Structure 1
């Protein structure tokens, strides 16, 4: 017996995403449990199904599952049939690959496995008898990360995940993913722990820089295409952190309260979109609790939503240290414990073996766990394209520098420009102040930290222990700008306000580089620039109103000096070619085309939680809570719309050195969604890229907010050029989730379609009438 699902193709923004059908034995156990057929739990499944087949020797079965013409599901079943229980248990238990002094204790006595990659995230031993490869895992997001080490791998770093989302560019995301996936593979890794899609509910979250903003469509799309790019290298990418891990304060214990409708229409929708587009081999469950249950032993999240509703065929791995139990976690859908010895106990080691021996966990569940891991390995080519160890000498760092520079250029957002940019060729003197702009550009800290070619541009900054150090990449904006300008450029570090102001007053123009370091494991205390930088900018602007501010931040910040300066660029953490990218924007070589993936609030009082829930001083046995039902699915711009709040800068906002007109709008029902047609014209004097955004709202009804982002596209246009474009609004963006029927429902009535270049820009609008429709809960 098998679970069958009809193949189909759906579209996101006009991009066809093949939803392959499957007949997958190792999903039967989970589905049987969820549909309430207890007899199926033990009488049907991989073990029972395989027992009906003729016995085969391991070598014969091995030869059969090596047949590349067979689908991944069939090959996984055949490989599973050849495995012993001990070998299956070996596949579901992973080790940390870094020898950390704090792990050596009387209770754990952890020693990093010799076969793991040195100073990397994890290792799962292979099964040599059957030719099943080991899993070598690297932390990621921006590139191949190295755990803190005196001799780190030096690799290429993309701009931060939030920056990649600011590009609003699917091809950019795919190319970036393909690049870091290539470096992972050539570094000896076949699992990359990238794919962070947690929504930006809390702008103070220390890991916002790793994620993709506040909107489920934008975040899910960008991350989905990045995962596609990574997995094009025949390696597995994860999708993480599942789910609602939207703050770092008390991340291991905090309990998130959210009702199902709000969950499905916000964070879970971002994960669903990323899963459908990217088809990740693995999903990583998070540290926090959700509605009382830890995410890695949360039956609703793992069994019901992910595996049953979305028909996810890969495996669920834990975050490092996120496992809380053996029996509960195994039954709730966790397939692999990762990163021992971060957890309090080896839950999927000897304890799982005991649970199987005494019937607390059924054998069919272990088969399901191992089968899912095998499926992900077959589906992503790990068997047929084995990793050959460290081949980093083959990495084309020069070509990869161009990839990350292009990604940074497309992500930089021009927030203000009083005709100061691009810089005029007539300038004689330029003051560059602060942010170590003479040395490099900032990156975010924690497990995703990529170390650059050439080492740290600014050593000994930030914490000596995790999540430090503070890493500046040696791509100096000042040096890159000097190569493009005949002006005399003078640097001041900004530590002396009077000296900085004096330099600014003697210069034709002043450029202040301001930084905000954010990192895993800690949240920001507020959204102010740290270390007196707001006062520095104010002093420089007072001395010379022709002041430009370049922000290198992990997310939104306040700007009390905004009215005093002439231009502002948000450069995020721009990656290992970030200095070149910033200089190319400042000089006008490239038109800025980034748009905000997150709302910049004007004050903390505008947020659903002005004070961050939880307390960093609480011990690990405390169980703080946070109530996401306050805003529900109205995250970011939707909250601001609903409450009629005016932000500092709205979601989707971004200026250009040219101008774009949108016109000729029409919209009509198409399939289960809406098809939008319009024209875009570059009415300026330079080439540029327009980010066209289509929002949809209800004339009446009970949506979480007045409107939702329904579709988007990035369009490159020469000066004077016009293009006609079509945007498809996916039906899930028109529907509400009904938990009683487990259906997505499109209510009958009139829907307003609004096109513009930000969440508050209305270039044109029209109305479309839709009939009632019911949609499938999951689409592959």
Structure 2
């Protein structure tokens, strides 16, 4: 009997293996073609247009960013789309009761320099989206930080194409590991919010290819997003969603991108022109002047200005992505599923801890050693929670906001200054039970200063709120916070400033305080993350993904182009609404491809803090930078923890590349992130993508690595040089 059972088991296993071998699903292309070939002409117009989810009335629509009806006859699901810069966002959550876990800001995640953290964060929010019945996340922000005052910087991954592309690509990959769809956005050079609907980003092709486009190219290669979202703005006079060069030539031609192009909500201006220029789907048509991909597109088909083949291709790209991501084989449940918010908050907390950057640590004031000391915690609503960024990416936190402030005169639903319920003060009190903590809100400088004089240590929380659709008017901390910090520093020599900001800020008080910590927008469990870094429970591991200028005068455009007082007829700030601005240009040819630290290097400017900078609670030494004998594009080096604590090092490799203007350009070409015990030494390797050493040859439409000497620098930041070497390269030409 046992022999018979074993025989049957083996036979069943063999049969299953054989069945698996012969029943493998066809490639996404073939499966999508088979479906699209069955569509009627009317059905082919269904999936190329979606409504704003708030206004959808269909039985399977949810109140969120967007909804696209499915085609039940062919088994094609409806698309339920949610904004998802940091988590599953729902601006109507207050009404519906929906909540979600929020990752730290995009810049905070980028500050980890850890692709695995980016992937796990994406996987976490993708799992929540799936559990909430969403199958499309409008995630993957990869616009470069060209201006420190951009209102959406907190959604993005920094100023460098390699860092941004890798981190965003891994986050997209994580989202889609749940068999749902992710976008990458906003394509392209959507690098300021002021006048985003009317401005034209002026930039030459070579500079564009070497900067913003390269970031998108890398993110798409790594993440394979189902969709690319074209932006609001124009590029060299042509709207992004009508830009044949960018959508057809570069994206679908040079990069052979097989997914579909969706519009941003309210960024479509035509039917035939947009469709023929490469736009596959009009998203949120209720925010456009017309449902362009409805009756106008049908008329264009009838009149012959858009071909039936083009409509077929639009649908093929959409349906193919259903198969490529596994959505068709793993349908999203139609009823909400349980979510382990506590576990997901730990994912967010780990990212926040890894991305918090210690910028100054005079006298090793950090990590905090308190004992029975009196500590003043001042400002930033640190008694109740941590700050988050505003706009379409706003997550409504589990438990509801600790505090929500409506800016005076705010005219749009997403202009809410929201604090997540994770108090840094309470986390510190729990960690230091012997210390006496006193909180003061900082509104009255005299009262706060008197408290500072009577304490052993002052921790001041300084906040800068930013939101989509509104750029920051300057780089200063708002609401008199700079004056507050100056006064506190005059009253007490032991002042630690914790910044919760969208991005870089000016620090006129820097020389007068003992410590500065950049916590960004730290997300769910952000208060606990801040406390753990301050206490040294974890190493200070974050490294800047953006350069911190001393002031806006160091930026390529000291004044934000088009910036005016954005008020409606009642004198109210009109966040995200029609500013009444006329079309204007933003000249990105000023810096071209030299974004961020490259600009500072090129202009010989010294920033407040350089790209890649961040202090640790231990000490690292870098040495032994050498080329691999078998591969001139692979470098080896050694890192040692020379301190007394375990810590996380992020050695960075920069190359000095001959620029198109004859001046050498510094570029990040690779990095490693490694955890080391005290005294531990590790040999590491970085492989260099040749595109990072190349200039784009517009005439021949190729990447070209010029023959000659290339200097490689190993350092702790873009301004550091711990070891150097030189490689001689032969000329190399690479197809885009």
Q: Which one of 353, 357, 362 corresponds to residue 413 of structure 1?
A: 357
Q: Is the Cα contact below 8 Å between 2:659 and 2:665 reproduced in 1?
A: no
1:408-557 residue pairs with structure 2 within 5 A?
Answer: 408-418=352-362, 419-462=364-407, 464=410, 465-485=412-432, 486-557=434-505
d(CA) in 2 for partners of 1:524 and 1:699?
35
| Deviations 1:713-751, CA, capped at 9 Å, x for gaps | 111111111100000111110111011111101100010
d(CA) in 2 for partners of 1:567 and 1:763?
25
Does residue 386 of the first structure (1) align with residue 345 of the second (2)? no
d(CA) in 2 for partners of 1:245 and 1:615?
15
Task: Classify the secondary structure of the residue corresponding to 1:263.
Answer: helix
Task: Classify the secondary structure of the residue corresponding to 2:671.
Answer: strand
Q: How much has 1:203 moved relative to structure 2?
A: 0.8
d(CA) in 2 for partners of 1:588 and 1:603?
31
Q: Is the Cα contact below 8 Å between 2:195 and 2:581 reproduced in 1?
A: no
Q: Which one of 514, 518, 521 corresponds to residue 570 of structure 1?
A: 518
Does residue 711 of the first structure (1) align with residue 656 of the second (2)? no
Equivalence for 2:347: 403
Q: How much has 1:200 moved relative to structure 2?
A: 0.3
Q: How much has 1:503 moved relative to structure 2?
A: 1.1
| Deviations 1:184-209, CA, capped at 9 Å, x for gaps | 10011010000000000011100000
Equivalence for 2:96: 151
Bigger drift between 464-473 and 183-192 goes to 464-473
Task: Classify the secondary structure of the residue corresponding to 1:522.
Answer: coil
Instruction: Say what the alpha-carbon RMSD is for the aligned residues.
Output: 1.5
Does residue 639 of the first structure (1) align with residue 587 of the second (2)? no
Does residue 87 of the first structure (1) align with residue 43 of the second (2)? yes
Task: Classify the secondary structure of the residue corresponding to 1:337.
Answer: coil
Q: TM-score with structure 1 length normalisation? A: 0.88
d(CA) in 1 for partners of 2:307 and 2:415?
43
Does residue 695 of the first structure (1) align with residue 639 of the second (2)? no
d(CA) in 1 for partners of 2:663 and 2:397?
43
d(CA) in 2 for partners of 1:619 and 1:499?
40
Bigger drift between 704-713 and 445-454 goes to 704-713
Q: How much has 1:467 moved relative to structure 2?
A: 3.1
Does residue 766 of the first structure (1) align with residue 725 of the second (2)? yes
1:69-88 residue pairs with structure 2 within 5 A?
Answer: 69-88=25-44
Does residue 161 of the first structure (1) align with residue 109 of the second (2)? no
1:205-354 residue pairs with structure 2 within 5 A?
Answer: 205-354=150-299
Q: 1:700 to 1:633 in 2, by over 3 A?
A: closer
Task: Classify the secondary structure of the residue corresponding to 1:471.
Answer: strand
| Deviations 1:218-244, CA, capped at 9 Å, x for gaps | 000000000000000000100000000
Aligned residues: 698
Q: Is the Cα contact below 8 Å between 2:91 and 2:414 reproduced in 1?
A: no
d(CA) in 2 for partners of 1:554 and 1:114?
38
d(CA) in 1 for partners of 2:57 and 2:147?
36
Q: Is the Cα contact below 8 Å between 2:657 and 2:667 reproduced in 1?
A: no
d(CA) in 1 for partners of 2:89 and 2:287?
18
Does residue 139 of the first structure (1) align with residue 98 of the second (2)? no
Structure 1 portions without partners, runs of 5+: 1-65, 100-110
Q: Is the Cα contact below 8 Å between 2:258 and 2:317 reproduced in 1?
A: yes
Q: Is the Cα contact below 8 Å between 1:515 and 1:551 reproduced in 2?
A: yes
1:354-393 residue pairs with structure 2 within 5 A?
Answer: 354-392=299-337
Q: How much has 1:88 moved relative to structure 2?
A: 1.1
Q: 1:626 to 1:601 in 2, by over 3 A?
A: same
Structure 2 portions without partners, runs of 5+: 1-21, 567-577
Q: TM-score with structure 2 length normalisation? A: 0.93
| Deviations 1:571-607, CA, capped at 9 Å, x for gaps | 0000011000000001110111000000000111111
d(CA) in 2 for partners of 1:727 and 1:179?
28
Q: Is the Cα contact below 8 Å between 1:678 and 1:726 reproduced in 2?
A: yes
Q: Is the Cα contact below 8 Å between 2:105 and 2:522 reproduced in 1?
A: yes
Task: Classify the secondary structure of the residue corresponding to 2:449.
Answer: helix
Bigger drift between 494-503 and 420-429 goes to 420-429
Does residue 683 of the first structure (1) align with residue 615 of the second (2)? no
Q: Is the Cα contact below 8 Å between 1:639 and 1:705 reproduced in 2?
A: no
Task: Classify the secondary structure of the residue corresponding to 2:717.
Answer: coil
Q: How much has 1:705 moved relative to structure 2?
A: 5.1
Q: Is the Cα contact below 8 Å between 1:122 and 1:339 reproduced in 2?
A: yes
Q: Is the Cα contact below 8 Å between 1:667 and 1:753 reproduced in 2?
A: no
d(CA) in 2 for partners of 1:621 and 1:539?
40
Q: Is the Cα contact below 8 Å between 1:166 and 1:412 reproduced in 2?
A: yes
